[in-house]
């Protein structure tokens, strides 16, 4: 009778994460960063000439970078994201797991901003907090 209520509470299957080979890896920040404004951060690094390069990111890259504390696995992080969607009363995308993994891989390979580890890892002191002015 009230099947429409049940449907809303059901979670997607998230088949992608089930077969993802690195789902039990931890992920941790590996770049210096600072707040550009109250909503946005920038990654900071020196290039080969010693010039500072600043990189800004879209919302999800930034969120996942800031969440990269080395204390949760990729599969555990999916639960964090699911709860954020639930708390915001937003519909949970059926491909959230794939999107999350693709974003984390982009942070790892394209930006070299995080790294994966087999065990929990502490954020190095220079990457833990924004750079002090």
Kindly give the parts of the chain with pLDDT less than 50: 1-7
Q: Token match 């915001």: residue?
A: 88
Note the pLDDT of residue 46. Answer: 86
DSSP 28: E
Query: Rounded distance, CA 49 to CA 28, Å?
Result: 27
Query: pLDDT per residue over 56-66, tens digit each?
Result: 999 999 999 99
Note the pLDDT of residue 67. Answer: 98
């Amino acid at each position: 009778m009230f099947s429409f209520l049940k449907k809303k509470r059901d979670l997607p299957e998230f088949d992608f994460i089930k077969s993802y080979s690195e789902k039990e890896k931890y992920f941790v920040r590996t770049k210096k960063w600072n707040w550009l404004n109250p909503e946005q951060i920038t990654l900071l690094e020196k290039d080969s000439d010693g010039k500072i390069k600043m990189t800004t990111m879209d919302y999800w890259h930034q969120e996942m970078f800031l969440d990269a504390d080395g204390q949760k696995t990729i599969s555990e992080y999916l639960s964090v994201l699911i709860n954020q969607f639930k708390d915001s009363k937003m519909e949970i995308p059926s491909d959230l797991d794939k999107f999350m993994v693709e974003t984390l891989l982009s942070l790892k390979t394209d930006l070299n901003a995080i790294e994966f580890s087999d065990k929990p890892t502490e954020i190095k002191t220079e990457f833990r907090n924004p750079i002090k002015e």
